[in-house]
């Protein structure tokens, strides 16, 4: 997280140099992006490949070529205004699947793939096809990936935001998977006669309200604050989820949830008080206890 807005140079407005190679264009763009992006070279490559209608690998194999660059400088100007690359491209890969993304629905993060991995491991406890509920589904990336990886599983997705529900439904249709996406506040979206679930996943809001101004501009200026902020300690939504688990989780079922960097001990305590056991953490690639899971033992 960055606490200050970086200063970046404006996009130049001059006639394209038709003699400049694509490699030269990339070097100039990466230099301009270096003050705002943690991956300026990759950003430049993705944007130029998108403008040319090529794959990134095709662009890299033609770095020495030159020619028109289409809308590249328009895309670059948007990125220099801190718009996330995924919103400019209109899609993002997650767990090897391609998802449509649109502001303000949160862009799928690589660390959330650990949530999928943990849920898949939990699903192995049942010989029959499992029932899975994905709360705070956003783009639907977790629910749709689980449905893809677990043929026969019954997966239901829930989100409270109009934009997220519409986008998740669009992604489910694109993937050709029968994942119903319900709108409502967590468990309130479910019908009263909904059967119990074997696994409940969630990537809830978990950012402390006081941390908002410390987040990077590509988050605060484009992504939905409702999907990120969760009260003074970042656990408002987590508490609501845990309170609703006993009435919706089958005996022996699992809760698998993404949490903030310093929240494991607090969430583990809440799960223990609620009657969960076998509480474990899954670490992300940065060594952070990013995923917590627990088993409903009653």
DSSP string, 192-253: TTPPPEEEEEE----B-GGGGGGS-HHHHTTS-GGGTB-STTS-HHHHHHHHHGGGTEEEEE
**What's the pLDDT score for residue 213?**
92
Q: How far is CA 57 from CA 28, 45, 88, 175, in A?
A: 19, 9, 19, 24
**What's the pLDDT score for residue 298?**
79
Residue with tokens 């409702």: 226
| 182: helix, strand or coil | strand
**Domains along the sequence of the chain with CATH:** 1-81 (no CATH), 102-296 (3.40.50.150)
**Ranges of the chain with pLDDT below 50:** 1-4, 13-15
Beta-strand relationship, 276-283 and 91-94: unpaired
Spatial distance between the Cα atoms of 162 and 133, rounded to a whole number of angstroms: 19
Residue with tokens 């996009």: 11
- What are the tokens at 57? 């690998």
**What's the pLDDT score for residue 15?**
46
Side-chain-side CA neighbours of residue 20 (13 Å): 13
State which H helix or E strand residue 72 sits in: helix 72-80
Handedness of CA 154, 158, 162, 165 (dihedral sign): negative
Q: What is the pTM of this model?
A: 0.91
Spatial distance between the Cα atoms of 146 and 175, rounded to a whole number of angstroms: 12
Side-chain-side CA neighbours of residue 215 (13 Å): 18
Task: Judge whether 94 and 86 are in contact, CB under 8 Å.
Answer: no
Angle at 171 between CA 193 and CA 118, to 5 degrees: 70
In our burial notation (b when 16+ CB lie closer than 10 A, e otherwise), range 136-162 reads bbbbbbbbbbbbbbbeebbbbbbbbbe
Q: For residue 46, report the phi and psi dihedrals to the nearest 5 degrees.
A: -65, -40
Q: How far is CA 109 from CA 77, 191, 225, in A?
A: 23, 30, 16
**What's the pLDDT score for residue 231?**
96
Spatial distance between the Cα atoms of 190 and 144, rounded to a whole number of angstroms: 18
pLDDT in tens, 234-251: 999 999 999 999 999 999
**What's the pLDDT score for residue 125?**
82
pLDDT in tens, 109-121: 999 999 999 999 9
């Amino acid at each position: 997280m960055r606490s200050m807005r970086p200063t970046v140079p404006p996009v130049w407005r001059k006639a394209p140099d038709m003699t400049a190679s694509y490699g030269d264009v990339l070097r100039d763009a990466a230099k301009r992006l270096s003050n705002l992006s943690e991956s300026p070279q990759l950003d430049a490559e993705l944007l130029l490949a998108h403008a040319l209608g090529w794959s990134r690998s095709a662009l890299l194999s033609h770095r020495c070529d030159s020619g028109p660059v289409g809308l590249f400088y328009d895309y670059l100007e948007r990125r220099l205004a801190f718009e996330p690359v995924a919103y400019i491209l209109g899609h993002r890969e997650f767990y090897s699947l391609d998802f449509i993304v649109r502001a303000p629905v949160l862009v799928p993060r690589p660390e959330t793939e650990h949530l999928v991995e943990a849920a898949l491991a939990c699903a192995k406890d049942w010989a029959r096809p499992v029932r899975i509920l994905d709360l705070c589904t956003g783009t639907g990336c977790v629910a749709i990936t689980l449905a893809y990886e677990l043929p026969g599983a019954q997966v239901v997705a829930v989100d409270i935001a109009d934009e997220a529900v519409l986008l998740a439904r669009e992604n489910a249709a694109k993937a050709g998977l029968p994942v119903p996406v319900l709108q409502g506040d967590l468990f309130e979206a479910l019908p009263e006669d909904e059967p119990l679930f074997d696994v409940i996943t969630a990537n809830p809001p978990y950012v402390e309200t006081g941390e908002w101004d410390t987040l990077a501009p590509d988050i605060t200026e484009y992504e939905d604050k409702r999907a990120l902020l969760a009260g003074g300690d970042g656990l408002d939504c987590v508490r609501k989820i845990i309170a609703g688990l006993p009435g919706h989780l089958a005996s022996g079922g699992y809760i698998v949830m993404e949490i903030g960097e310093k929240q494991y001990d607090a969430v583990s305590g809440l799960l223990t008080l609620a009657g969960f056991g076998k509480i474990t953490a899954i670490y992300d690639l940065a060594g952070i206890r990013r995923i917590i899971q627990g088993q409903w033992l009653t």
